[in-house]
Chains A and B, each alone.
Chain A
Amino acid sequence: MSDRLSVFKTYKLYVGGKFPRSESGRVYEVQDSKGNWLANAPLSSRKDARDAVVAARKAFGGWSGATAYNRGQVLYRVAEMLEGRRDQFVREVADAEGLSKSKAAAVVDATIDRWVWYAGWTDKIAQVIGGANPVAGPYFNLSSPEPTGVVAVLAPQESSFLGLVSVVAPVIATGNTAIVVASEKAPLPALSLGEVLATSDVPGGVVNVLSGRTAEIAAPLAAHQDVNAIDLAGADDVLAKELEIAAADNLKRVLRPQPVDYFETPGIERMTAFLETKTVWHPTGSLGASGSSY
């Protein structure tokens, strides 16, 4: 046994494809389930939240404009990166949630599989929920889903990795960009996910990860005029109501907190909640008896 001193990791935010510290210079102590010090995580400020919105907006055009096939490839690449870091995440999830190594391994495996599941959805959701409308007139009429824009995601507090991925992946699979507020108590797996995203092919700004006090970071996001939607999964009832009221100011799409068993295969609700339906009409002309009226 050598007495080599291990190298600690300085956990940083992930915003716009970069790893800044909080502009506030603040950190807070993250502990494992037994109260041992794990790391100092950045304590994000309102300014960090606003910077993340700017980064997410900047990334929206490119990400939403990418082909669905391309987005699927990029998401699958993330799963590849996650698989490669499986051991790291098993350790982090075990520490974060106080799980045995085997239980943490099951969580990480489910998380990676969840990511793969959503990678496969990118080029199917439009076929499943869009389509042709048989209108009573000579019109070509098609409804297709489009991403709603910049989505603030309050990650679940308890499920630091499986829950996190279960709320982030559906948002970006459909072409939205995200600002994710990590679990307040257990933010480290989320911050490490940022490192995975940075080394995959996800463009900078598509996912932005903030750590700190959920209520403090969520307030400016819910009130932000350039945020289009908010997933309140990680808010308690009192906070969720406050944020929903703030979100009404620019009519953000709101997904309220719900009891979810993250181990179950999800439905499509987390995708459809952040999609808009666009219906396009065009005259078709019609064939007359002579066949010449178009």
Chain B
Amino acid sequence: MSKEPVAVVGIGQTKHVAARRDVSIAGLVREAARRALDDAGLSWADVDAVVIGKAPDFFEGVMMPELYLADALGAVGKPMLRVHTAGSVGGSTALVAANLVAARVHGTVLTLAFEKQSESNAMWGLSLPIPFQQPLLAGAGGFFAPHIRAYMRRSGAPETIGALVAYKDRRNALKNPYAHLHEHDITLEKVMASPMLWDPVRYSETCPSSDGACAMILTDRTGAARAPRPPAWMLGGAMRSEPTLFAGKDFVSPRAGRDCAADVYRQAGITDPRREIDGAEIYVPFSWYEPMWLENLGFADEGEGWKLTEAGVTELDGDLPVNMSGGVLSTNPIGASGMIRFAEAALQVRGQAGEHQVEGARRVLGHAYGGGSQFFSMWLVGDRPPDS
């Protein structure tokens, strides 16, 4: 049997900021959805189903918010699914929505992910103690710093690599009007002089807490033919999960990430990702994860990822630009961050990325991960339909 090709014909984001006090959660998501519909030249009535994602409900203090958001997202009378796969959720949500189209269950699907972190405190949302388990009171940085140190030791990467990534991503963010952090006076020296939070992760090498939403309109061949702007076509998509903690786990390069990328490349017919892929939006919440994921995703051999970063390959004008939008390091509405990666990849192949557009981008990877580096979701989008 054959799958229906899936096209991205509409993308909408909010301007991501520390606190959107002017809108409710419903107002925030509606803003992104409305922009995606406008981009696709569609109205609410054209949407057959809604698939919504966000990270833990405790972040806003609303249990199963899809119930409350049904009206705001025009879902009344329609199917509505709520996906939750930790930090990878934005990507997984898009893939669940894509499956509805691929399976020919629905023709046009609105998918959306959000986080309104200012409604509560994410640190506390992650720190509800349960018996016999260590609460994550140090935040995510405390969890990931030891794995970064393991990477540095294993690869022999110089200590400056993390700062180079942060400096690049924050400069890229200046070209993205939706990015949260717009640090016009950023310099490499400032990044390196910022306070140490979780050795070796400095303040300027970590992601902010953002309010924001991202929406996409996914549709079938017929819908794509009617789209006013060029669609992005899904060439491959996959999810992989592995356990949080076990003796054989490689936190530096988890096998679930490698398997997930391999599945996506197989679907898309990619045999040499470094040459055949024109850019990547990779989930990098702490700067050192750029070189780590470059290896995990097959763009560099083991221990070599940092060399791409150091050589400027991942710069906006480099040979494999990474996080052209400024990435998670510049914008982090947690539940939406994965979908923003997926959407930014689609913007690139549609030629709609504005100032941070990579010239001639034809195939771009969107990547998300979550939990203790245990959940992965990815898609590869292109400027042409699959098998053409």
Q: Do A and B bind each other?
A: no
